Amino acid sequence: MGFSTDAIHWGQKPDKESFSVIPPIYLATTYARKFDEEAPFVYSRTQNPNRKMLEENIAKLENGKYGFAFSSGVAAVTAVMQLLKPGDHVITTKNIYGGTLRVFKEMQKWGIKFSFVDMTQVENVERELKNETKLIFAETPSNPFLYLTDLKRLAELRDSFNREILIAVDNTFMTPYLQRPLELGCDIVIHSSTKFLNGHSDVVGGIVVTNRDELQKPLWYIQRAFGAVPSPFDCWLLLRSIKTLAVRIKQHCSNAKRVAIFLSVHPKVKRVFYPGLPSHPQYELAQRQMKDFGGVVTVDLGSRDNVKKFVENLKIFTLAESLGGVESLVNHSWSMSHSSVPEEEKRELGLTEGIVRLSVGIEDVEDLISDLEQALEKI
Ligand SMILES: Cc1ncc(COP(=O)(O)O)c(C=O)c1O
């Protein structure tokens, strides 16, 4: 079946009792059972019908075997890190969502060792591989600079060193419609489903998908034992949203490309970061690895002062955290998404106070460009 057919139907059937086409929301916390008999659902933290439908659906879309839903993207990242034990070594990068970096810092207190490298060159990862390495963690495209990691090449490198090392990929910016890391040889996909998967800025959630049989039990144990699970209502909302994922993403991509081209020739814009522009240093990889280039465009406006004037004059783009909703948002990475990263580290990453990240929504693109144009005139 095609992507949208699976997105709309997989894991869900009309309700057996009421025949409702859309499955009901099962708010029950607990389920009646027969003494000494196995039951499909026991207690809602452990599993419930809405979460099960969502987990089966997203696993299918990522071409994985097992899906796990969490109460946030950060909880999903944490669950993957909880697969490790003290002394284990992780290779990752600092060019990553600030909250994920914060989780990594917390994990160091528990004895997990980290090597942070520039993952735009996978040879940098190769240099850090050692016997204790248990996980390679990539975010591609990365937040906020949209740097890419060559996932196929990364998996090949890992295979030639030790197939047991896990590769986890944060696929939040792409969704399975644009990029499927498991098909490229990686082992775990992570999402902040708060973003494009949900797409309506009304659910906080996280997803982990894997095709490794040996990870099914540990991930399920972590999910139910630590209990960072989403509510049945949030799972129901996410399933509803995923039905329109393909059409939304196509429009996000088309609008973002037009916005990126407009900004790339604007005299007030110092630099545009977008993997769909030939000026992106990894444009060739972007074309190979991704079906399209996504809905996020990052720009350098030169200074905090310029950013202030720009965001205060925007009328359609809203200054807000997050991304991936149908409405366009603007984020000042320095003071918002990356506020938890120390100043010195931000500068090392090339993150200055002039950087803004646009989440290009699916409004009429002419309106979005006019909005950006009039706000840039105020700088
Ligand atoms: C790439 C990426 N991963 C993970 C997260 C964390 O997700 P959440 O905010 O749902 O916990 C975010 C949030 O912005 C993100 O952008």
* Domain endpoint, select from 242, 262, 288: 242
Catalytic member of 94, 158, 180, 195: 195
Q: Would you place residue 306 in the very low, low, confident or very high pLDDT band (cuts 50, 70, 90)? A: very high
β-bridge partners, 185: none
Active site residue 243: no
For ligand 1, whether the C-beta of 236 sits within 6 Å is no
Looking at the fold, whether 188 and 260 belong to one and the same domain comes out as: no
pLDDT, mean of residues 355-373: 98
| Residue 195: active-site member | yes
What integer is the mean pLDDT of 234-253? 98
CA-based nearest residue to 352, from 336, 333, 365, 379: 333
What is the domain-level CATH number for residue 175?
A: 3.40.640.10
* Phi, psi of 85, rounded to the nearest 5 degrees: -130, 160
- Alpha carbon nearest to ligand 1 atom 16, residue: 97
The yes-or-no answer on residue 170 being catalytic is yes
CATH number at residue 370: 3.90.1150.10
Alpha carbon of 319 to ligand 1 centroid (Å): 17
Atom 15 (ligand 1): residue with closest C-alpha?
97
Q: Are residues 238 and 300 in the same domain?
A: no
Q: What percent of the chain has pLDDT over 90?
A: 97
Q: Is the pLDDT of residue 83 over 90?
A: yes
| Enclosing domain of residue 202 | 3-242
Residue 178's pLDDT is 98
* Residue 298 reports pLDDT greater than 90: yes
Nearest C-alpha neighbor of 53 from the set 212, 308, 61: 61
pLDDT value of residue 151:
98
127 and 170 inside one domain: yes
> pLDDT class for 340, splitting at 50, 70, 90?
confident
Catalytic-role residue among 6, 31, 45, 240: 45
- Are residues 254 and 184 part of one domain? no
367 CA to centre of ligand 1 in angstroms: 28
Q: Which residue among 194, 204, 333 is best mutated to probe the pocket of ligand 1, counting the most ligand atoms within 8 A of its Cβ? A: 194
Q: How far is residue 141's CA from residue 18's CA, in Å, rounded to a whole number?
A: 43
Buried b (16+ CB within 10 A) or exposed e, 101-135: beebeebeeeebbbbbbebbebeebbebbeeebbb
* 137 and 250 assigned to the same domain: no
Q: Is the CB of 170 under 6 A from ligand 1?
A: yes
222 shares its domain with 277: no
Cβ partners under 8 Å of residue 315, min gap 6: 371, 374, 375
Residue 257 and residue 324 share a domain: yes
pLDDT at 16: 87
Give tens-digit pLDDT for 348-357. 989 999 999 9
- Residues 172, 31 share a domain: yes
Residue with CA at minimum distance from ligand 1 atom 10: 73
Question: Would the CB of 73 count as within 6 Å of ligand 1?
Answer: yes
201, 204, 209, 214: CA torsion to nearest 10 = 180
- For the chain, what is the domain count? 2
**Quick one: pLDDT band at residue 341, thresholds 50, 70, 90?**
confident
Q: Indicate if 206 and 308 belong to the same structural domain.
A: no
Residues making up the chain, counted from first to last = 379
Which residue, of 188, 221, 242, is where some domain finishes?
Answer: 242
Q: Among 172, 191, 298, 337, which residue has the most ligand 1 atoms within 8 Å of its CB, making it the best to mutate? A: 172
| Atom of ligand 1 lying closest to residue 206 CA | 10
143 Cβ closer than 6 Å to some ligand 1 atom: yes
The Å distance, Cα 97 to ligand 1 centre, comes to 7
Gyration radius from the chain CA atoms: 21
Task: Check whether residue 173 and residue 255 sit in a common domain.
Answer: no
- What value does the mean pLDDT take over residues 153-167? 98
Residues 5-14 have a mean pLDDT of: 96
Once rounded to an integer, what is the mean pLDDT over residues 47-55?
98
pLDDT of res. 237? 98
Whether 277 and 312 map to the same domain: the answer is: yes
In angstroms, what is the span from residue 300 Cα to ligand 1's centroid?
A: 22
Residue written as token pair 């890391």: 181
Question: pLDDT tens digits for 171-204?
Answer: 999 999 999 999 999 999 999 999 999 999 999 9
Query: In which band, very low, low, confident or very high, does the pLDDT at 76 lie, cut at 50, 70 and 90?
Result: very high
- Among residues 242, 271, 296, the one where a domain terminates is 242
**Reduced 3-state DSSP string for the chain:** CCHHHHHHHCCCCCCCCCCCCCCCCCCCCECCCCCCCCCCCCECCCCCHHHHHHHHHHHHHCCCCEEEEECCHHHHHHHHHCCCCCCCEEEECCCCCHHHHHHHHHHHCCCCEEEECCCCCHHHHHHHCCCCEEEEEEECCCCCCCCCCCHHHHHHHHHHHCCCCEEEEECCCCHHHHCCHHHHCCCEEEEECCCCCCCCCCCCCEEEEECCHHHHHHHHHHHHHHCCCCCHHHHHHHHHHHCCHHHHHHHHHHHHHHHHHHHHCCCCCCEEECCCCCCCCCHHHHHHHCCCCCCEEEEECCCHHHHHHHHHHCCCCEECCCCCCCCCEEEECCCCCCCCCCHHHHHHCCCCCCEEEEECCCCCHHHHHHHHHHHHHCC
What is the rounded average pLDDT for all residues in the chain? 97
Point out the catalytic residue in the list 88, 150, 170, 187. Answer: 170
Residue 277, number of CB atoms within 10 A of its CB: 18
* Cα maximum dimension of the chain: 73
> Does the pLDDT of residue 37 top 90, yes or no?
yes
Please state the φ and ψ torsions of residue 45, each to the nearest 5 degrees.
-65, -40
Residue 234 in contact with ligand 1 by CB distance below 6 A: no
pLDDT > 70 in the chain, percent: 100
Distance CA 215, CA 110 (A): 21
Check pocket membership of 78 for ligand 1, CB cut-off 6 A: no
Burial 3-37 (b: 16+ CB within 10 A, else e): bbebbbebbbeeeeeeeeeebebbeeeebeeeeee
Residues 269 and 227 in one domain: no
pLDDT given at position 337 = 86
Annotated catalytic residue, options 66, 97, 147, 274: 97
- Told to judge if 97 belongs to the known catalytic residues of this protein, a careful annotator would answer yes
| pLDDT at residue 5 greater than cutoff 90 | yes
